[in-house]
Amino acid sequence: MKRTRLVAAVVSVGIGAGSAFAGDVRYDITVTTNWSEQTHPGVFPADSGAHLSLISFLAHNDQISIWELGGLASPTVKQMAETGDLIKYQDDAVDYIADGDAAWSWWNFYTDPIDSWTVTLQTVNDAHPLLTIMSMIGPSPDWFVGVSALDLREDGIWRNKVVVDMYTYDAGTRSAERFELFGPLENPPKPISLLDNVLLPGHIPIGSFTFELATPFLDGDLDHDGFVGINDLNRVLAHWNETVPEGNQVRGDSNGDGFVGIDDLNVVLGNWNVGTPPAGVGTDIPEPVTGAMLLLSVSLFSLRRPRIA
């Protein structure tokens, strides 16, 4: 697809105070696996019942950590990684929610090596913006996949779409290297690490997690403050002519095509002054023509400059 690219300088026109959306939001999370003989030739356990066990999700704050690379597996993570059981996780989640450190917990599903399914994550908010996921790779001694404390915001604003590769990890509690349960205990336990064996090299993902914002916001409201105005225009101008992750409104991609340009500017200007101005944004916001004329004048000037041989 051919894109219209204007040569433009970044023009800031009266940046306001604007605050990010502070209520609860929802994300659709798609779990996709593509673990097969094609991705892992000669070592895929086709006859061993390969799968992902029950998968757990937890939305939480930065006061708790479920697992992290380089850390030792807690009893909860050890149980999950060795058996696929989530009994300890469920008990922990109830306590985290009661203490105010987590907002939402969910677990379910047996996932085949090649599979795709979606669940809607509930009650994520500015107080609990981090998401942790984990699921045992079965059958295995202590291997798992997951995401550790993923922040679904950027610059305090909810991201429209995030894709995370599904890497494979070693919980460090068992020393066997085969597609079977248990095996010798590590004594002492080793830190959690990317898997480093010929069966599941940790640098080769076996799928992905995709997070897509399901809560509707106003078209052109790039900072999710409930109002389309100068802050949103400046996000487009600040990233003009840049290629960004598709749907990254924080970086000005209002139409979701992964490029910040005239189409994104038109979305903002076409919805100018829609919504309720947040506290701190005055009534002296310029008309959309101001930003458009500034951008146009810089663009025309740039395009008309003579070429120097």
Domains detected in the chain: 1-21+220-309 (no CATH), 25-213 (2.60.40.2130)
pLDDT digits (tens, 9 = 90+) for 103-121: 989 988 889 999 999 988 7
Q: Are 58 and 131 in contact (CB under 8 A)?
A: yes
Burial class (CB in 10 A: 0-12, 13-18, 19+), 88: middle
pTM of the model: 0.76
Distance of CA 127 to the CA centre of its chain: 17
pLDDT digits (tens, 9 = 90+) for 257-297: 889 999 999 999 999 999 888 776 654 445 544 555 455 54
pLDDT digits (tens, 9 = 90+) for 48-93: 899 999 999 999 999 999 999 999 999 999 999 999 999 999 999 9
Q: Are 232 and 204 in contact (CB under 8 A)?
A: no
